[in-house]
Chain A
Amino acid sequence: MINLLLAFLRRDWMRRASYRLLVVWQLVGMVGFLTVLYISGGALAATARSHGLGDDYIAFILAGLAFTDLFLTSMQAFSGTVREAQLQGTLEPMLLAPVRVPELVAGSILFPFAQSLFRTMIAISVAFFAFGLFHHANPLSALLVLIPGIITFAAIGVLSSSFVLAFKQGDPVIGMFAFVSSIVGGSVFPPSLLPGWVRSVGWLLPLTNALAGMRMALAGATPLQVLPQIGAMWVTTLVVLPIAGFAFRAALIHAKREGSLVQY
């Protein structure tokens, strides 16, 4: 299993590294984002304070952006890989190998996830060293939030790839989910600013609980304090995971019946 996952990681790294200019621009983009954040951080914090958002708006937005990226990457990576493999003609040779679907999912999301994790770690490090934030963070709580978060989002990604397998384009899951989550999930502004009923919808979304739990963990909350968020995410995981597994299997059977695995 480890060899298999490392093979996916190596493949994706080598493909990415072969586009040298892209690698350079991604690094430049990251440095640019952090520089802008560093320069505008003070001003942003002052503005946030004047609007009653408290002193830690920088921490709020940094954690929001960094972890939204991480969670949404877990969600989008698999369906993106399936789509790319359809277009490149590599889906069939991969499905011909004796690889189980969970292995294929794990292998496919590994590299994009590692990339996103790297970006997140850089953002958190900058927050830690440059802005003096997250000094009381509880890593155990953060890990306990991260695990169900990633599993839930990966499961939603599998659900989304079912649409890609069956219908090729027009996947309603990721677009809708990412849009709604980014508005009500608390990525860039607190859900408490939203109308009551929108807020209630927001708490049904895994991103809201994941970000709330992660922010609490970064502020030093103990595992017991983030238990409601962790519990909510595990409940979501237990609901979404079997649905996603069933949907993907059904989509695969549908594509095999229709003979449309290679179509795009």
Chain B
Amino acid sequence: MKASSSAYAVEVEGLTKRFKRPRTWSHMLRNPPLKVALSGIDLQVRRGEIFGLLGPNGAGKTTLIKILCGLVLPDRGRALVNGIDVGRNSLDVRRSVGVVYGDERSFFMRLSVRENLRFYSRLYRMQPRVAARRIDELLGLVDLEDAADLRMHYLSSGMKQRAAIARGLIHDPEVLFMDEPTRSLDPLGAEDLHVLIRDRVAAGGRTVMLATHLMNEAEALCNRITLIDRGHTVHTGTVEDFRALIRQEVVYRLVFTGGRPGWERGLHALPGVVKATIDSEEDAAHSIELVLDRRTTALPTAIRYLVEQSGDILSCNREELRLEEIFRAVVRQRRATLVEAAQ
């Protein structure tokens, strides 16, 4: 993997793409309806991060990835990969990126995994000896040594996906684009693939850009996420940033025993405590739902206070909104804003 001097692995400015979608014979000749795939997308992917492109089906994720590797031309805007302008020098871009599709059909099914990898290694001008070593190394990386000489059509979906990862890494690219890599996998297979991506594929500082509509996938893998909806960037940030976006509070559930009489009143009065709901149990244990302002450091203050009240804290757990809930909330918020604006 050769490091490029650019600060970002991927930079996108004002990327816009509309597709003609003729529906009738007259549309074939003039004015076909246009479908907006991307509208003024801006984003920057830092070197070495796993970056998620998150969005519902049809949001524009695949189009963006295809533009970044030169398979689709944008109408407007600029895309740089490893500092190279995709529109001007797509050949150099293609040398430095790898792509993993969720589409199982992208292999020569009558050939073995090894033969497929050998063919693609030649397309990347790898010398036969170097390629042979690299193929063995990659087959080990994706745990396909035992299936290396099986024809592709004998492989399960999970194995094909692993082979696709090996193919994407054959030339040791700096940036790897992954387009819904777990699309056809069962939950266990998807989980295995997540481990592979996190622990092996992204190891060594490789930048991974992952398009997915699965919240758990983005949450499990990505350092940062861009949420795309109907071709627009809704928000970019960490999962934490997304949580903060829709909710300024953070919720903790504590189990507490003992405490001097009246400790409840003091808890409510602590700075940063938005709300404290206390359920007292028969065995003298109290279950406290503590809603705190995300911007303050109210948790240590609350814990210190409870300990000072001569009580014991048996457990303390943070209750988070799942990314799925955040995703729904953010998308609904945005769509509602758009409807209002249109009215």
- Max chain B C-beta neighbours (<10 A), residue from A19, A90, A100, A253: A90
Partner of A98, one of B19, B91, B103: B91
Residues of A within 8 A of B (CB): 3-4, 6-8, 10-11, 14-15, 18-19, 88-90, 92-100, 253, 256-259, 261
A83 to chain B, nearest CB (A): 15
B219 to chain A, nearest CB (A): 29
Instruction: Let me know if A259 and B167 touch, CB within 8 A.
Output: no
Partner of B94, one of A90, A98, A257: A98
> How far apart sit A7 and B167, CA to CA, in the bound complex (Å)?
15
Q: Does B124 contact A (CB under 8 A)?
A: yes
> How far apart sit A132 and B99, CA to CA, in the bound complex (Å)?
57
Q: Does B110 contact A (CB under 8 A)?
A: yes
Which of chain B's residues have a CB closer than 8 A to the CB of A11? 108, 111, 115, 119
Instruction: Let me know if B120 and A93 touch, CB within 8 A.
Output: yes
A contacts with B: majority SS: helix
- Max chain A C-beta neighbours (<10 A), residue from B103, B119, B125: B119
Partner of B71, one of A18, A19, A96, A100: A96
B189 to chain A, nearest CB (A): 20
- Give B177's nearest chain A residue, CB to CB: A96
Instruction: Let me know if A259 and B108 touch, CB within 8 A.
Output: no
A118 to chain B, nearest CB (A): 21
11 residue pairs A–B, Cβ–Cβ below 8 Å? A7-B118, A10-B119, A11-B111, A92-B71, A96-B70, A98-B91, A253-B73, A256-B71, A258-B20, A259-B63, A261-B71
B97 to chain A, nearest CB (A): 8
Which of chain B's residues have a CB closer than 8 A to the CB of A8? 119
- Max chain B C-beta neighbours (<10 A), residue from A3, A97, A100, A258: A97
Which of chain A's residues have a CB closer than 8 A to the CB of B107? 90
Which of chain A's residues have a CB closer than 8 A to the CB of B119? 7-8, 10-11
> How far apart sit A4 and B63, CA to CA, in the bound complex (Å)?
29
Which 3 A-B residue pairs are closest in the complex by CB-CB distance?
A89-B105, A7-B122, A97-B123
Partner of A256, one of B72, B108, B109, B151: B72
Partner of A14, one of B17, B101, B115: B115
